[in-house]
Structures are given as C-alpha cells and as structure tokens.
Chain A
Amino acid sequence: MGFQSTFAGPHQICFFLGKLLIIPALISLASLGYAQQELESLRSDPEQIFAFQIHPILVKKCLACHGGDPDEIKGELDLTTRDALLRGGATGEPGIIPGRPPESSIYLAALRDDDNWAAMPPKESERLTAVELEFLKQWIVKEAPWPDAEQLKKLQAGRDPWGSGLEVRVATSGGLSEEWTNRTYEPKNIWAYQPVLAVDLSNVSEHPIDHLINQRNPQGLVVAPQADKRTLIRRLSYTLTGLPPTPEAVESFLADTSAQAYENLVDQLLDSQRYGEHWGKHWLDVVRYADSSGFANDYPRPNAWRYRDYVIRSFNQDKPYDQFIREQLAADELFDDSPEAMLGLGFLRMGPWEHTGMSVGRITRQQYLDDVTSSVGQVFLGQALQCARCHDHKFDPVPTQDYYAIQSVFATTQMAELLVPFQPDENISRFEEEKKYLAKREAAIAELRKTVNHPHKTANDFGRSRLSGKWENLYRRARDLYEPFMLGVYNGHTQFSRNSYNRFDKPADTKKGVLESTAILTGGNVFTPAAPVKPGVLSVTSVAANIPQQLEGRRSGFAQWVTDKANPLTARVMVNRVWTYHFGQGIAGNPNNFGSTGDKPTHPELLDWLAAQFMDSGWSVKRLHKLILTSQTYQRSSTHPAIDQLDELDSERTSYAVFQVRRLTSEELRDSMLQVSGELVNEMGGIPARPDMNVEAALQPRQIMGSFAPSYVPHPMPEQRNRRSVYVLKLRGLRDPFMTTFNQPSPDESCEMRDASNVTPQVFALFNSEESADRALAFAHRVLTDSSSDAEAIEKAFLLAVGRRPERDELKAARTHWKECVTEHQQFHPEPRVYPTQVVRRANEENTGEEFTFTETLFEYQDYQHDLHAHEVDVRTRAFAEFCLVLLNTNEFVYIY
C-alpha cells in the first residue's frame, strides 16, 4: 500500500488560511485590516452598535410580535422604525426616550424586573443577556440612531467590529432572513465544509499517520513504546472481529518472528468472516438497526434481517464505500437488477415509525421524511440537519431551505416491502423449524378467538378478544419472515394513512395518490407550508448536484452528490468513524456532528490525508483499516512511561502518545464468553436469533397499543441461541437488560460511539446471572474434557480467557480455590432447572376496568434443550466452573489494552 499522496503542495500551510485563500465561496473580511484604535472607535459608534448588536436582537426576538401585519401587532407597539418606537404602544408611553435608558420602556421591559412593564421578550429562554442589555443601554444613551435601510445594509456588509476579524461569509442557498444569509462565521467553525486539503507527504519516510500525529505531539512529550505482541494480538482481534484471539492464534503470532508477522495478522483478521459481523454492527449502530418499528405497537419488521446481513456482507466483501452509499440511498434507481444491492434500501426504513388508527396521515408521513432527512445528515454527512427543520441553523451555515431541499429528495420515496428473491449467500436454513412454532401460536390464538365473541362479555372476554385480534395480526405479519420480502422503497405518489398494521405492498399504480411538493414548513409544522422548495443538497459545500425534479432519479442524483469526491464531508465522516472505533476517540470528536458545536479535529491534516487516501484507494474500508493499524501510533502501549508528564502536557489525551484502554462492548462481552466457553455458533445471517434472556425480564408484561405483546421466548436449540450478538433479535420495546446494562444503545437514536459506564448492576449481570453461570459451566466442562491435570486445566482456562498462562501465584490461588469449591459443592445437589411453559397475564381491562387474565403457552419451552447445566456434571466440574466464572469477571477479561 502506498502512502504517497497525489497532490503536491506545502502540507504545513496554515490550515484555515489556506482554505480561505483558495475557496471562492468564502469571502474573507480579514483583509479589511482595521487597526485596534479604529476598532475601538467603531465599537463606540452607535450606528455600528445598532447595525451589529441592536438590529439583530430586534429581528430575532422582537419583530415576530412587534413587526409585520399592523393588525397583529402586540400591544400596538411597532418596532420596525425609530419613529414607531418613539411613538410607543397602547400604553401611550414612548418605547424609548433617547438618552435616558431608565425611562425607556423597552429597556425596562428587557430588564424584566420593573413592575410597570411586562418582561420582554416573554420567553425566558430569549431574555436578553447582560451584554445585550448593556448594548441596548449604550445605544439609548447615545440617542438611539437608526440608520435607514440602505445605510444599514452597507454597515452590515462591512466588518463586524466585535468579531475576531477572521470571520468569513459563506455562500449558501440563503436563509429565511437576510441577516442569516449575510451572517459571518469563525473559520474554525466551518472547517468541515472546506474541500479536503491535499497533504503532501512525499518526503516523509515514516508512516504518514505517525508523521501527522507526531508533528502535533506536545513539545517534549515522550510517547509510549510499542505494546508487546500478546497485547497487540488481543487488541487487533477485538478491533477487527470483536472477539478474543484463540490460544492457537496467539501462539502462532508469537512464534512468527518475521517482519511481516503483524501485517499478516491484520490481513488474516480482515479476511475473517467475523470482521464483517463486527464492523457491520458498528454500521448498524449508526443507522439504528432494529427488528421492530417502535412506538405504540412496536410492530415486527420481519424482513429487517436481510438488510443486516447485507451490511455484514458489504463489509466482508470490502464493498467500496461510495457504492455502499449509492446502494443504500438509491439501489432501486441505479441497480434494480441486482438483488444484493436492492437490499441496501433497508437503510431508508431503519428509523422508528408507525401509523396507527390514531395517527394522522400527513403527520406520520412528515415524521418519516424528517427522520430520513435527519438520518442521511448524521450518517453520511456528519450534520445535525434536524436543527434546520424549524429555522435556519442557529450555528452552522445550514439554511432551512437546504433541510427541505434534501427532504424533497425523498418526497417521492415511498415505503414498501419489496419482493426480492433470496440470494445464495442469504441464510434461509432455519425457516422450517421456526414456522412450526408460529403455526402452534396461530392455532392457540385461533382457539381463543372462538371463545370470546358472545353477547355477554366479561372482562376476560373483552381483554382476550382484544389481545387475540392483535396477536392474530402480529402472527400474520410474522409469516413474512419466511417470504422474500425486504424493507424497501419505490418512487411514487403518496398515499397517506397506510396503516402499519399491514405489510406495505408496492401498489400496482404508483401514481395513485398525491405527488408531494415540498415546501419549507413554518415551525416544522406540516400544516403550515411556506415557500416551495426543489430537491437539492447542502449548499454550503459548493459542490454542484444534478437532481431531477420528476418522480424518478432524485435519490440517485443525491447519492451522486454525496459520493462526489469533491464533497468535503463524506470521506471525512467515514474515515473519522473508522478511526474512532480503533482508538476510542475521533480525530473530530463527534462522528455524527461535524458542525460548529461538534468537537473540532485535533489533527486536521491527518483527517484530510486519510480522507484523500480513502477516496484514492477506491473507498476501500479494509485498506483504510490496514493503513491505520500498521501505524506505530496504533501499536503504542497503554502504559505511558512518564504519566506525570503526560498529565501535564496532554491532560485531554488527544496526543495519542499512549493507547487508550477500552472496556468490551455488551456484544463483545457476550460473544467472548460464548467463544471462551466453546459454545459460540459461527453460523452467519438469517432470521433473528433469540438467546436466553433473564426470565423475569423476558416475561415482564409489555404493553402494545390496547393489549400485551407476545412474550419473548428463547429459541429451543442451543445452536439457535448461542449465535453472535449481531444476529440477536432487536426489539425496540424489549431490550435485553444484560446488554443495556453494558451500554448497548437504544436503536432510536444514531449511536456514534458506545458509552462504557461502570455501574453496580453490571456486577449482578455478570456475576450472578444464570447466563454467566451457564457460560462458566460450559467453559469448565470444555477445559476439563481436554486436560489431563488440574494445572493443565487452569492453564488452559487462562489461555482461553485472557490469552496468557497463569503465573505461579495465580496458579496456586486457583488450585486452592478449586479445592475449597469442591468441598463446598459436595454439599449441594443441583436440581434440573424448570422452565416456564406458560405465563399468566393480568391487567385491568379498559372496557370494564376489571382485571382480566390470559394464559399464554410458551411453545418453544416445551421443546427447550438447555445448555449444559449443573445437575449434569460432576462436583469437580461445578467447582471448576466457579473459578471460570471468576475469570470471566476479571478486569483482564473485560478490558482491552
């Protein structure tokens, strides 16, 4: 892999200045070059005060009520001209008395503590700041001049005397007000919209990443040495596959003393199918993957798994990222002959959404459009577009116009479950056994339904009738699990009020309904459309887009713009995500927010260089990994040789002088336990797996609109349950407490980075739960089956769990513990665990207010084949399982160094 970059130019030019000079969209005002003295005099000029301080306040906080239509003006106080202000409102008092702030009513109202004047602006959140009040006072003291419109425009076009002098104006499609359109930005806040800067590293001999990291290393700060090989293989295995290395892999890596050993290991891990599962999960975090729709009914999305597997395959195949984007945004327009690409459209269906009998069609349709717009902004562009839904973006150069222009791209996009044949690499192997249970559940509900409909209904009849009606419908939807439907979209007119009770079929006539025309929605309200908007893009990027206005082709035009190499956001956003997962911190600290309120890049040249490399490599994510992982920066030890110096020179830990330790994620933890215990089933893809969940949580009654949801019941066979966590059924309305305790994020919001809290319920989950006990027992059994002595067993357990042999004192402690446990366990004779095959539901029935009950049969439990249990093994194994449980709870097991 080459590190040369293609563009020659001095890479150390001032980052921002360089951009200001070369980007025509930006108009630097810095060149006006005022001297300090001049500035002072401008700042005391009341016309300047009005232009840059008072007028913006009036526009932002006053004119909505005290401007506009004379009949609507509140308190008859008009604040659009000086004369009107002097005249005052209904009270007869003038708005101001020039020269005398304490007698000027608007000043008193703004102070908010005068008994005679109601506090203004009325909204507390808009109250004037102390600084603003001071300007208002100064302006009145200085006789409150009010330049005419032309003069005002001229003043405001000049430099803001209170700005830093570096501010720039940027070209956008324009805001709702001229003030917004003409406002200026500090260059550091709009870094993300500048083109990716070419960084010339042609004369650099070290790894470019190391070069770009080291050049920003705080002066004098030593960096940590390379971590040892045991640490590195564990770190690499987790970062690329989410699993610990096997003892064999560790041995072979240690034995390989060749110069290529490390690089070969990276290649090997990138080639593993486990890679796509792990990195697919990262992507699914960002796009909010779930198998249900959320909200009142949490309807199943039976075919969501096909998108999940598509994502995993895409990472494993190293699908070029630009292609990956195009498929997810517009496969139906671009690649409708490729079933695989079509599955990518699931992206456009990931958000929580429902339409029920209680919903208003226009509103839920708008929710969908808002959700997609916001998602596209966060996922691909690192932009909080949703901030511009009701008003021009407060901080970023994103006008409301752009929000609705992007939304308009999706205005002809309609949700549908499309029929796309199953492909050879899709896993459909478990359909038949699943159908068996569905049929049983359907039959039980059909039976129940026969009993409830008679004229003299009791509370039980009402409750059961409602419940069975609901479940009948849910089961009908569940049938789709086995049909080649996919979550997709098509282009067409909108048919409002399609109830998500039913599958959305693509209508025969896609032009039935309303051809939506997008308009700016005042206050984000679908019932108050204002100016019409054409489909478009984020205008501040000044990258042109060609988006048709007809029904077809909007999304492909938009995707073309997103993946245009000139688009400054797309590549940066993705390389920053990848970097974040490897290092636990982003180059830009908020992968979903490259706007002014996100953390600025700590190493902007590195971000740009990586982005350029990424695009030049054909958007290869695997090559990006290799580039990052082969740097010395990545291989540094997590222990710093001079921690005091590090604390002093880099308290924020942005230098990468030391590797940051991280805790396993919830999925890594569960998957690792299964791998260590030998139970992990490496089957890929297919319908969602239902592993064991804490039974109390699983059977906790869960309300869905008007009734209960069917219970969560684990799959009957171990090979169905003990799958990797990425394949586990993800219901928005029922989260596995083990996973949430270890910070698995809610699928309702895009997750840019996992939290890793350290809280007591984690102890209960990992130390006390049956799940942990089961893993520990299987782990013990596996090791003992394979060992000829106690010492060998202990050694094997250490190797499997933490990748090393025990030290002498550890071995001794483990042996003593084991012996004591044997004595303890001799007194205990475990019974087989009993699983519930029925659950009784009770609730107040809404028609009667009386209690109704319903008994649900849990069919899978009737055939349940449990994992290895204590009553099936000897005392020695049970005692050793205690030791194995301890190992799975050690810090060494749950942290990656």
Chain B
Amino acid sequence: MDRREFLYGLNASLGSIALTAMLSEETTAQDDVVKVAHFPKAKAKHCIFLFMEGGPSHIDTFDPKPKLKELHEKEFQRSGQEQSAMASGKRYYVQTPFEFKQAGESGADITTAWPGLAKVVDDICFYRGLQVTSVNHPAANYHVNTGNRFGGDPAIGSWVNLGLGSENQDLPGFVVLPELSFPQGGPANWNNGFLPTDYQGTAFRPAGSPLLDIRPPQGVTRRQQRRNLDLLAKLNQKHAANHPQHEQLAARMKNYELAFRMQTQVPDLVQIDDETQDTQDRYGIGNPKTDNFGRRCLLARKLVEKGVRFVQVYASSWDSHDYILRAHGAMIERVDQPIAALIQDLKQRGLLDETLIVWMGEFGRTPDNGIRGGGVRYGRDHNPNAMSVWMAGGGVKAGHTIGATDEVGMEAVEVVHPLRDLHVTILRLLGLDDNKLTYFHAGRYKQLSQFGGKVIDQLIA
C-alpha cells in the first residue's frame, strides 16, 4: 500500500500519527524519503510558523511612529477606493498607548510589553515592507496560508513537504496546532488543495481526542475489536480471492490493522510530561495566561525535533478594533514568554539554525480609528498596506530590521514587497525554489506564489 497515504492522508480536523515501533515492520517506500532541496546549502530544514490571527498592529508592537503623538486625535483623511469600507464617518489619528524601547545589541524597536522577546531580538530579523491585498480575515488568512485569497489551494506547509519530503516517516510532515476555535476560513487554511492527500496538514485537536473516533465506543474492548478485525479479515480475504485484480482491497485491509495499533499509541505523542519542570516553566506552562500557547510552542519544538517539516501554531484574537491597549496587551502577554522560550530552547538544542521561525498575522492595522458608539475607543482597523513580520533562525538576517513604513504607518515605503515575495523567500530559506516547486493542476503548473515572485534578499543572511 501507499504508506504516505496511510500516514498523512488526513482530513479536516482529523489527524493521524504513527510511531516508529508500530511501523518498524513496514518497508520504506522509495518516494517518501528526504528529497534534495533545490538549494542544498540552505540552513533551514523545518519551519515553525506562528500565525497571529486577527492582524496584529505593527504600530503597537515593532514599528514606532512618534509622528502619531503629534497627530493624535487629529482628523485623518482616507485615500484610495480600495480601502476597507469599515467604520465610515470621521476618523482620527491614534497614537500608540504602548511604550517603545530599543532592545538588544541590534537596538531593535519593540514595546515594553514584550519583555521576553526583548531578550532574543538579536536572533530576529524584523521586516516592515510587506503588503497584502485583502482586508477580510478569511481571505487574508487563505492568502497567507495558500497564496490564494479564495482558498482551495495547497497550504504552504503542504508545498514545503512536497519539496523537502519526509524526514520522519512515522509522523505527518505538516502539523497544525490551532486554538480550540479554528481560525476564520477553517481547515481550508491547512488543506492540501490539489496536491495528493498525503500533504494535508494534520490538526491536533487541542481538547478532547487529538483525532476523532480514535477510540471505539464505550464497552468495546480491545479483545472485542480484535475479534471483529479477525472476522473482517476472513471475509475480506475470501472476497479478495474472488477479485484478484482489484488492488485497493489489500491496502484497505491493511489500514484496519494499522488503525488498530494506532489507537493505543497516538494519544502519547501529544503529552509533554516528559519535559522537565524547568522547561515547562520557561514556556509558561502552568501560568493561566501563557499555558495554552506555551504548551503548543513546546509541542512544536518536540515535533520539529522529531523531524516534522512544518508546524503551524495559531494565536487568535488580534483583531483589536477597540481598546487596543487592553486587547493587544493581553494577547502579547499570552505569546511573549512562550515565543521567547521557543527561540531560546531551539538555540540551546542547536536547532535554531535549522529551524525557520516565522511570526506574522494576515495584515497590519491602521494608524487611525473611527468614531464608534459616540467615542474614540483607541483601536485600529485592518490595513493591508503596512504590517510587521519577523523571522528567526534558519538563515535569516538576524539582528536587523528591514524595510520601513511611512511616518504614520499607513503604508510600506521601503523594501516593499507583495506577499508572494515573502512566500518565495520563506521557500528559499528552506532551500526551495518557488518556480521549481510546481504541480500541474487545472491546466497549468501551479505554485505557492501563484505566478512567481522575487526573493527578498535583504531578509537572508
């Protein structure tokens, strides 16, 4: 049978893992080993993609705009018809309620709300030149994840696995660690699109069983299941003898045996009990503010350590239209310590060099705010023309800030690139050439960037 199909052929919210022990008797198929990258010298072999869903504000995190202090509460003039139609009526500039302080030897701009990240800024390359095209969450999520605003195309993790192959055939190559509530746009954010099912992202459910129906209903013992499987095998074998030309039969029978073994072993993988208390503390596990995201960051490290190519971790609710101090403040608190711990942990284990960390949302936010409910509640709306993205590890130009936005943070003005160029750059850092990483579908060779893009050289060391 096609082992990849077994291992990674997973749907929607389902996931599947198999452990070495249970697969040791399986032979290894030729085509699912590590593939040679297009750029074999690239350092990054794995990617941890921290998706800040909702659109974090660059102005209140990594891109200080002192000019806004001057303009605070002055009327803002909207320009351009493609601007979001939200909060029509009068709008006013809003200064950031956060305090910026340069950090690290590189003197990176960062607000004091990020004490953890401030300690590792020298490992980070901040980028301020990115522009996207959609101001709606699901479309923008799809765009970031699949290169296509309308969804339906393969996710970046699927492409990376297509290009680099599997390093550990006992695990899916593309694992997603969503919040309890899936992001807007749902599982299509990690779909394999037109690529074979093998490349679908496997979402580990953060609550309940990591995979649906992994256990039989109450009262069905293992012995009973074995008995059922034996009878099934008997009936199927007889049937197969009558249909010797039907090749799927054997594969389907084998799936039942593999599933039987998996159901006792899978739940172990998502445990983090074997990590030291110190490690758990550093990730903020046990602290109600950081526990949720910290656990998933730690699991991401474990998965990368085991050879998973692409792990995507979601932190949702960055959509701070109102009360940004409170709302962004709390979000930052949730993720700051875990992210810093992740970077330090990977570094300490010698894994940071070969792991690319990407931190981004689906768009940035505006320097202005409309009047809502009769008052200015100091929030920010969606802004596709300016945002902050950062990367760390695997071959990035650490300790630098690349690109710039205008004096109010409305629009990127230096080293400006569309999203597809960032996609191409991420692939390049992972040793992949977007133009070679193609798949023939619906009449043409398709690629993550859709139509090709440019590597943003400034982001690469």
Do A and B bind? yes
Is A56 part of the contact surface with B, judged by Cβ < 8 Å?
no
Q: Which residues of B contact A663 (CB under 8 A)?
A: 248
Q: Is B221 a contact partner of A737 (Cβ separation < 8 A)?
A: no
Is A830 part of the contact surface with B, judged by Cβ < 8 Å?
yes
In the complex, identify which listed stretch (A352-360, A502-510, A569-577) lies at the interface while the others stay far away: A352-360
Is B331 part of the contact surface with A, judged by Cβ < 8 Å?
yes
Question: B307-346, CB under 8 A of A: which get 1 and which 0?
Answer: 0000000001101111100111111011000000000000
Which partner residue on chain A sits nearest B288 by CB separation? A851
- Known: A821-B224, A849-B331. Is A124-B434 also a contact (CB below 8 A)? yes
Q: Is A760 a contact partner of B136 (Cβ separation < 8 A)?
A: no
Provide the bound-state CA to CA distance between A282 and B319, in Å.
40
Partner of B231, one of A595, A758, A886: A886
Provide the bound-state CA to CA distance between A746 and B194, in Å.
12
Provide the bound-state CA to CA distance between A356 and B218, in Å.
45
Q: Which residues of B contact A357 (CB under 8 A)?
A: 85-86
Provide the bound-state CA to CA distance between A686 and B136, in Å.
34
Which partner residue on chain B sits nearest A798 by CB separation? B235
Is B74 part of the contact surface with A, judged by Cβ < 8 Å?
no
Partner of B219, one of A595, A658, A830: A830
Looking at chain B's contact residues, the main secondary structure is: loop
Q: Is A849 a contact partner of B329 (Cβ separation < 8 A)?
A: yes
Question: A874-897, CB under 8 A of B: which get 1 and which 0?
Answer: 000000001101110111101101
Is B306 part of the contact surface with A, judged by Cβ < 8 Å?
no
Question: A839-862, CB under 8 A of B: which get 1 and which 0?
Answer: 000111111111000000000000
Is A150 part of the contact surface with B, judged by Cβ < 8 Å?
no
Q: Is A848 a contact partner of B326 (Cβ separation < 8 A)?
A: yes
Tell me the smallest distance from the CB of A842 to a CB of chain B, in Å: 7
- Known: A757-B197, A760-B9, A890-B239. Is A895-B443 also a contact (CB below 8 A)? no
Partner of A703, one of B181, B205, B239, B240: B181
Q: Is A360 a contact partner of B208 (Cβ separation < 8 A)?
A: no
Q: Which residues of A contact B28 (CB under 8 A)?
A: none
Partner of B182, one of A703, A809, A897: A703
- Known: A735-B12, A828-B219. Is A359-B235 also a contact (CB below 8 A)? no
Is B217 part of the contact surface with A, judged by Cβ < 8 Å?
yes
Is B349 part of the contact surface with A, judged by Cβ < 8 Å?
no
Which partner residue on chain B sits nearest A735 by CB separation? B12
Provide the bound-state CA to CA distance between A46 and B178, in Å.
60
Is B251 part of the contact surface with A, judged by Cβ < 8 Å?
yes
Q: Is B249 a contact partner of A891 (Cβ separation < 8 A)?
A: yes
In the complex, identify which listed stretch (A314-322, A337-345, A637-645, A722-730) lies at the interface while the others stay far away: A637-645
Partner of A847, one of B152, B218, B327: B327
Tell me the smallest distance from the CB of B238 to a CB of chain A, in Å: 7
Partner of B323, one of A701, A757, A848: A848
Q: Which residues of A contact B333 (CB under 8 A)?
A: 849
Q: Is A886 a contact partner of B232 (Cβ separation < 8 A)?
A: yes
Q: Is B216 a contact partner of A767 (Cβ separation < 8 A)?
A: yes
Interface centre among B136, B211, B251, by most A CB within 10 Å? B136
Is B184 part of the contact surface with A, judged by Cβ < 8 Å?
yes
- Known: A760-B16, A824-B224, A844-B330. Is A124-B435 also a contact (CB below 8 A)? yes
Question: B220-251, CB under 8 A of A: which get 1 and which 0?
Answer: 11011001100110111011100111101101
Provide the bound-state CA to CA distance between A821 and B226, in Å.
11
Which partner residue on chain B sits nearest A769 by CB separation? B213
Tell me the smallest distance from the CB of B284 to a CB of chain A, in Å: 16
Is A362 part of the contact surface with B, judged by Cβ < 8 Å?
yes
Partner of A759, one of B5, B82, B330: B5
Q: Which residues of A contact B136 (CB under 8 A)?
A: 295-296, 356, 358-359
Q: Is A758 a contact partner of B255 (Cβ separation < 8 A)?
A: yes
Question: A509-539, CB under 8 A of B: which get 1 and which 0?
Answer: 0000000000000000001000000000000
Provide the bound-state CA to CA distance between A842 and B181, in Å.
9
Question: A581-604, CB under 8 A of B: which get 1 and which 0?
Answer: 000000000000101111000000
Q: Is B245 a contact partner of A640 (Cβ separation < 8 A)?
A: yes
Is A870 part of the contact surface with B, judged by Cβ < 8 Å?
yes
Partner of B245, one of A639, A701, A764, A770: A639
Q: Is B251 a contact partner of A123 (Cβ separation < 8 A)?
A: no
Tell me the smallest distance from the CB of B333 to a CB of chain A, in Å: 8
Q: Which residues of A contact B248 (CB under 8 A)?
A: 661, 663, 758, 895
Interface size on A, residues (CB 8 A): 103
Q: Is B236 a contact partner of A890 (Cβ separation < 8 A)?
A: yes
Provide the bound-state CA to CA distance between A125 and B454, in Å.
9
Is B168 part of the contact surface with A, judged by Cβ < 8 Å?
no
Partner of A764, one of B6, B14, B228, B327: B14
Tell me the smallest distance from the CB of A31 to a CB of chain B, in Å: 31
Q: Is B137 a contact partner of A705 (Cβ separation < 8 A)?
A: yes
Tell me the smallest distance from the CB of A253 to a CB of chain B, in Å: 20
Partner of A597, one of B13, B442, B452: B442
Number of cross-chain contacts by CB at 8 Å: 288
Provide the bound-state CA to CA distance between A163 and B111, in Å.
64
Q: Which residues of B contact A824 (CB under 8 A)?
A: 221, 223-224, 227
- Known: A358-B382, A843-B317, A844-B330. Is A746-B13 also a contact (CB below 8 A)? no
Provide the bound-state CA to CA distance between A843 and B207, in Å.
14
Is A700 part of the contact surface with B, judged by Cβ < 8 Å?
yes
Tell me the smallest distance from the CB of A514 to a CB of chain B, in Å: 14
Q: Is B218 a contact partner of A830 (Cβ separation < 8 A)?
A: yes
Q: Is B212 a contact partner of A737 (Cβ separation < 8 A)?
A: yes
Q: Is B138 a contact partner of A892 (Cβ separation < 8 A)?
A: no
Q: Which residues of A contact B449 (CB under 8 A)?
A: 125
Is A813 part of the contact surface with B, judged by Cβ < 8 Å?
yes
Q: Is A527 a contact partner of B81 (Cβ separation < 8 A)?
A: yes
Question: A173-187, CB under 8 A of B: which get 1 and which 0?
Answer: 000000000000000
Is A81 part of the contact surface with B, judged by Cβ < 8 Å?
no
Provide the bound-state CA to CA distance between A638 and B1, in Å.
21
Q: Which residues of B contact A761 (CB under 8 A)?
A: 9-11, 14, 16, 211-213
Which partner residue on chain A sits nearest B14 by CB separation? A761
Q: Which residues of A contact B433 (CB under 8 A)?
A: 124
Tell me the smallest distance from the CB of B460 to a CB of chain A, in Å: 15
Provide the bound-state CA to CA distance between A593 and B442, in Å.
8
Q: In chain A between 794 and 826, which residues have their CB closer than 8 angstroms to a CB of chain B? A: 807, 809-810, 813-814, 817, 820-821, 824
Provide the bound-state CA to CA distance between A887 and B11, in Å.
24
Provide the bound-state CA to CA distance between A122 and B435, in Å.
13
Tell me the smallest distance from the CB of A872 to a CB of chain B, in Å: 14
Question: B1-33, CB under 8 A of A: which get 1 and which 0?
Answer: 100011001111110100000000000000000
Provide the bound-state CA to CA distance between A734 and B322, in Å.
29
Which partner residue on chain B sits nearest A695 by CB separation? B208
Q: Is B451 a contact partner of A125 (Cβ separation < 8 A)?
A: yes
Q: Is B255 a contact partner of A762 (Cβ separation < 8 A)?
A: yes
Interface centre among B183, B209, B236, by most A CB within 10 Å? B236
Provide the bound-state CA to CA distance between A195 and B326, in Å.
68
- Known: A124-B453, A890-B235, A891-B240. Is A759-B212 also a contact (CB below 8 A)? no
Provide the bound-state CA to CA distance between A700 and B220, in Å.
25
Partner of B259, one of A708, A767, A814, A830: A767
Q: Which residues of A contact B320 (CB under 8 A)?
A: 846-847, 849
Q: Is B443 a contact partner of A387 (Cβ separation < 8 A)?
A: yes
Q: 10 tightest A-B contacts by CB? A: A849-B330, A125-B452, A597-B443, A759-B9, A763-B259, A701-B181, A844-B317, A764-B213, A761-B14, A768-B213
Can you list 10 pairs linking A and B with CB atoms under 8 Å apart?
Answer: A126-B452, A387-B443, A741-B12, A761-B16, A768-B217, A773-B216, A813-B231, A824-B224, A886-B232, A886-B235
Instruction: Given A358-B135, A847-B322, output 13 extra A-B contacts at Cβ < 8 Å.
Output: A295-B136, A357-B85, A359-B85, A658-B245, A700-B182, A759-B9, A763-B255, A817-B228, A831-B218, A849-B333, A886-B231, A895-B248, A897-B246
A residues contacting B by CB (< 8 A) are: 122-127, 295-296, 356-363, 384, 387, 394-395, 497, 527, 593, 595-598, 638-640, 643, 658, 661, 663, 694, 696-697, 700-706, 708, 733-735, 737, 740-741, 746, 748-749, 755, 757-765, 767-770, 773, 807, 809-810, 813-814, 817, 820-821, 824, 828, 830-831, 842-850, 870, 882-883, 885-887, 889-892, 894-895, 897
